[in-house]
Structure 1
Amino acid sequence: MDTSYGSAPPPVWDRPEPRRRAAPVPLSREKIATAAIRLADEHGLEKLSVRKLAQELGVAPMRLYDYVATKSELLDLMVDAIYATVLGPDVTADQPAWRSTVLDLVHRTRAAALAHEWFADLLGGRPHLGPHALAVGEATAAALDQAPGIRTLDDLQRALGALNAFLTGALRREITERRTARTTGTDETAWQASYGPYLTRMLETGRYPTIARLVIDGAHPDPDATFSHNLTTVLDGITGHPQP
């Protein structure tokens, strides 16, 4: 594999930390990423800027460019710091090790996204290639590769693609619903009071019998139960190995 970068600059993880300078505030990429995560947690990615980050760190904005050349590099560092919290699955003995590992990694990823909502906004875009992201990807792929229904490299690629598509979609939907409820100040009770009479009239027309069954007779589990059930369904389908 060609390890040269030609005229392109090397990725941020492949560049050494700048030499420490005699300055009142010592910096490192880890410290910068930690501060950026804190700002994004409080204000969202759209409010994150080099100027605000420099102010948070108590340094001049130009000092940050010694460590991160672009905002994309800053986001890369932030994302990889979150992936570091996903590592370390606890394999349990009540199910096959491969399945326990995959379930644990996916649930840890969801927990990280719920704690840092902006993280879900960066899923499904350009590849995450930081060392911790690669480690999570390796652990997931290696575990899925041990599933009985995964026999070829094509099987593994399709399984990973389906699992990642489910995870990205599920997390974005869940976090979008949380944000909507938070920003509009609505909750389920208020929503039912507002839309209940209209929906009742529409369902009583008889034109939507399946939706009526879902709304009236269907179970409405909480987000944790919904995510766990859907994850199990997807995992069963992509591996061809239902949970015993």
Structure 2
Amino acid sequence: MTTTLITGANRSLGLETARRLIEAGHTVYAGMRDLATGDEARRIGAHPVQLDVTDQVSVDAALGALPELDVLINNAGVLGTSFGVDDLDAAAIATVLDTNVVGAVRVTQAALPLLRRSANPVIVNVASGVGWPRFLTTEGTDEFPIPAVPYATSKAAVIAMTVQYAKNLPAFRVNVSDPGYTATDFNRHSGHQTVTEGTDATVALALLGPDGPTGEFHNRHGRIDY
């Protein structure tokens, strides 16, 4: 049995990822800041666990409660409150980085002892095409019109972070996914993809075997070339 932990799994992309991996036979622990929001996760057969990626005590307690771990999906993220330059300050970007980047590092570092015991350790970091310079600078892409600095910066960091973890952990499969422009609370459900389409890449990367790729960036159509 494959045991998986997903952060930010009480709704949207995280919840759909949990549903699909349970369907694939995984035992899924659904990380969430507030267990009172876990009814839907329980309904689909996940095991809610209190996990706030910005709180080291919470992270350590959550990982300490797991019996084993094969797959870690760093899905938790925030959009932030700054959407241009005039409303940007250091506090605004620090808040986004603390959740989207530092939070992923907190969880990954706490998970490493368990993952190292697995016969097939897998890490999937959920990023975004908004962190990909080629998409941000190419007219006609979904990402080109987006002016926000903190979110794009954080997702670019997640992509680079994934490559570095993959280099440091050659026995692991460590990859990063781009959900694409998916209808979620983040964008007031304006995205043109369903949450199922938005989890295609994350689920595919979570199901990799030991011979699968590592250090790569994928969307639902496959590898995104650097």
Using the size of structure 1 for normalisation, the TM-score is 0.26
Using the size of structure 2 for normalisation, the TM-score is 0.27
Which structure: larger Rg? 1
